Structure 1
């Protein structure tokens, strides 16, 4: 792979377009040095793996599987520890088991992990006590500490993001293919977590799975399929300097792939049809997503589909809807119906997190668990009425027992948020709330 090859594939066409939500790098030479080094490092993922995920996403779009995409709102370098990564994997595995067993549905598992280091911001600056500094845009760009030094965009952070992503992916592969994810170990995934009603319900299901496994063993069943799982990586392809530097040409097909993750998406703030993000994503061959918020119009959805998936390839394009619980039942039907009526092939995911954020009386940015569930229910209701497929769920979650979202069986209240509020950006479901959500969604799937 050479730069000439990539340029002939047209991947640099985005440079002529307006790129929103990008940092103001202070040193162009330092940026060039970093991107040159990144262009030479090994890929984090491979084209063949991305192609496999595309087929899985196509199955979800047909109703033959269900997508579970979960992980941090914004990963940080500091929290990329073995324990925290393991707990997130545990949570995704447990949610997948609940969905698979409760709804007899294969689950496509995608981690919002190993690359979710850049975040769009509503303002370029942040002001505290009369002091104004550049906004924190994620660890891949600058630091979260409110100091002039920390907030200067530093391209060297892209190299650190690459190495932390590589180590995270290494752990993911070790856990999911080294015996940890064996379905016969469903009980062990709950060890280390405090007892509460959600875990008790999970233990009951695990006991039922144990009995089914023992029956299969007695009947001479083959357990190879139970021993390992595929957990794909994903993040918002926001920082174009990083994504472009990790773009490679597949030696088999001659096509360009973004090797920073298996699945990448365009956010609500950067989905302009004539913008740099849409242009870049139109040139790569990963399965890709686009967030559609409450302002998205049917004509925009159709234009994005025509631009990003002109050949209407199943699994290539996923629309991730983030409407808000109070808007999803009104805003989503026109989008779904327009796509359906035009024969456009997409996989629909619900992001019930971003449209339901508010600031609590105590000053914490939070979400209500019951409101999140209501948006998911609305998502299923709209697809049932339209005769289309609710293909999956994107959830911001952590495997730790944080207190960032209100409600759930733990009944976290405004005062309780202060106990373990750890997120740097948006609030996440904790481990117990994530399991609760999985049980609720399995009920919705069963009803469908």
Structure 2
């Protein structure tokens, strides 16, 4: 079974941070129909670029379409909304609404559908039901134990994805109506106001709770599963999901890097051991009264509760790096012939030709000057591992020609890798 580390991205910068930190896949929201309406989210152009970039690096990208849609949205908007992403090669959609599920199954039969945790699938029967409907993956309710998840895995071949880090819902995920009742902002429309994080006056047997006036009786700690990661995988989970599309790119990079380290440790067969410094690092990235293991061990008690809405983060700044694919090049420069640049990456080879190499009347162009120009890859997805430059005689090439051939070759390579 292939194991996947799945990271959140509320912006294109977070997407790059997730990929650079080692995520196998990233889930994002587009301009509409996502359950994080207040995240920065992606424009159509950014989303298509992200799909292409993910595929260049052999990663996957999933789009959240996980709100409840109105009939007019389903009839008039959803197809046109999804079509450009489908054509760009979107890997899957994450869906809550069964009407949306059926619509996508009919309209885009080749597109994988992941059943959102907001479907509240809690047992084998739900797994088998969605298997029959054509789902490829289920994200069960976050309130299940490892034993319950294992039973679901044994009952159906569908992939299972569960949350391993980040915020928890006080209610069954997606089933809370408090935000709608208190403020007219529905969590099922992506606009939860998080009333569970607010302070409340608490009484028991008509006796008022005596303590901190800002007692947040419904606020849970965030989940952290570093210590039980092997148990989660052995229960049948194949996709390990980090919560946090509302978080900053540095948070995404830091959390992803830590879980990448421990997932690789487990997959390598080495003795699994969590360092205390890594637990501390995650708490310094973000803490809401500490952390807990969620419901995986079936423990439900005060240790899961933050009882405050104090969000704390340290001064650490995780490295955010842009991942680059290594390329091999061969540049041929012969007088009265076009500039020829051949680039190879991941078994794909492209050739670009352009301009004309001239005889040098006076000072021939030195290899160092040519190499300096060709190595300017800028903000592309590539970096040179080696570049052979073959110069036949005393030559001169306009810098503009070198730039055009380089850009043409990289554009061809990008298209070839996207497939």
Question: Is this a same-fold pair by TM over 0.5?
Answer: no
Higher strand residue share = 2
TM-score range, shorter chain: 0.3 to 0.5
Q: Which has the higher contact order (CA 8 A, sep 6+)?
A: 1
Calculate the TM-score normalised by the size of structure 1: 0.40
Higher helix residue share = 1
